[in-house]
Copies of this chain bind each other. A is one copy, B any other.
Amino acid sequence: MRILIKDFSSHIGQEIEVSGWLYNKRSSGPIAFLELRDGSGWTQAVAIKNELASEIWNEIERATQESSVIIAGAVSAHPKKPDVYELHLKNFSIVNLSPDYPIAKKEHGPDFLMDNRHLWLRSKKQWAILRLRDAVMTAIAEYLHQQNFIRVDSPIFTPNACEGTTTLFPVPYFDLGTAYLSQSGQLYIEAAIASVGRCYDFGPVFRAEKSKTKRHLTEFWMMDAEAAFVEHEENLRIQEGLVRHIIRYCLEHCAEEFAALERNTENLKKADSDFTRYTYDQAIAKLRELGSDIKYGEDLGNDDEVLLTKDSVVPVFIEKWPKNIKSFYMKRDSANTELVLNDDLIATEGGGELIGGSQREDDFDLLLERIKKEGLNADDYQWYLDLRRYGSVPHSGFGIGLERTVRWLAGAEHIRECIPFPRTIGRLKP
C-alpha cells in the first residue's frame, strides 16, 4: 500500500510503500540511512545490507541525491523522539537517477539559489515556507468567511492608478490605449460592499519600484478586505482578529514547518495577545525618546518601525496619521480634521508593516475635494464617486501583504523566499 509520510503514525508495524525523493544518504558499512521526502513530510529509511538481496543493495548504493525513488518497508516509531517514525527498508527502486544535483550541501550565494529557484524549492526550509504560506492563505479565507466576508476579486488591468502613478507597470491594451497593472484592488471592492456587505480580494499586485530591499518585490500577493457599516474601531478589531487567527492557525497546523525553520514559536504565542495601540502622535514622541530624529509629519521608515516595536511582544497599531501624508480616500477624524482614521500594523521581531487600513471617506464632497487636491483627474474617479452618490455608507477596510506576513511568521531573512517564484527589479527568471 502506497501511503504518505505524514500518515506514518497510523501505520506503525505495517509494511507500506512510499514514493519520493532521496535528499540525503549516509552509509556506515553494511547499514545505509536514506533520508526521504515525499512532499507531505520527511523520513528516514534504514537499510541493512545482509537483510537485502544484492540487487536491492546495489540500487541503494547507486542512488544519488535527488533521485526519485520508491521505498517499501515497515513503519516504526522512533525509540526516543516522539512523533518521529522511520522505515525499516525491505525494497528499493530508483524511478529516475539524478546526476550531479547542482544544489549541494555546501553554502550557495543568493543569486545561485535564485537562478535555481525551481530546484531550491525542494530544500527543507523552502518546503516549510511554501507550506506555511499555504496555511496563511487558508487561515485568512477561514477567518474572513467566519466574519461574513465574501471573496470578490478585483481586476489586474486597470485604467487608472490607485496610489500614485510613478510605480505603475503599463501594458498596451488593444485599441483602448494603456492598461496599468493593479497596485491595489481596494477601490473595486469598495464597490462590491454595496452588493455583498463585506468582501475581500486576494491576488497579485504590482509595483514598479526600484527598491532593492529585503522587503520589496515587484509582484506580490495582497489581501484587501472591505466592510460596509464598519468604522475605525471595528476595523482595527477585525485586523487584530485576523492576525491572531493566522498565528493560531499556523501554530496549530505547522509545527513541523516551524521546526524546520528553527522558528521561536514562543514569540508567536506571545504575539497572540491584545495588540498595542499608539496614535501617530504618540509614536513620533516615543520614537524621538528612543533616539530617532523623525519629525512630526514625516512617514515612518522601516528603521522607525523596528525601533518602535523592538520591546513589544505583540504587534503594534499606529493610528490616526496626518492626512497630508496619507491617501485621498481616507476619512478625516472628526475630532481633528488634520488627521485621518487610518492605521498601520507593525509586526514584532523586526517584521515591519503587515497591514495598512483606514475608514474610507464616505462623503461625496469631501472625497471630490481630496481627489482634486491630490491632482488626480476627477473624471477617472466618477465611478468611484458614484459609490458616494448612490447609497453611501460608513465603511472601512485594510490590506495585508501575504509575503510580509509569511516572512514574519517564518522568521525568514528575505522576502524573496516567501513567494514561490520571486520577481524583483533584477530578476524575472526562472
Contacts and interface: CB of A to CB of B under 8 A. Distances in A.
Contact of A39 (B169, B195, B423): B195
Contacts of A131: 150, 196
Contacts of A158: 428
Contacts of A119: 191, 194, 386, 390
B126 A195 contact: yes
A170 B403 CA distance: 25
Contact of A423 (B66, B117, B150, B155): B155
A101 B390 contact: yes
B383 A430 contact: yes
Give this chain's copy count: 2
Contacts of A175: 426
A174 B425 contact: yes
Contacts of A155: 219, 420-423
A122 B6 CA distance: 46
Interface stretch (A134-142, A334-342, A345-353): A134-142
Given A155-B420, A169-B171, A170-B171, 6 more contacts: A127-B196, A138-B151, A153-B420, A157-B219, A171-B171, A179-B423
Contacts of A430: 159, 191, 383-384
A195 B229 contact: no
Contact of A197 (B38, B126, B387, B422): B38
Interface stretch (A54-62, A92-100, A278-286, A313-321): A92-100
A157 B428 contact: yes
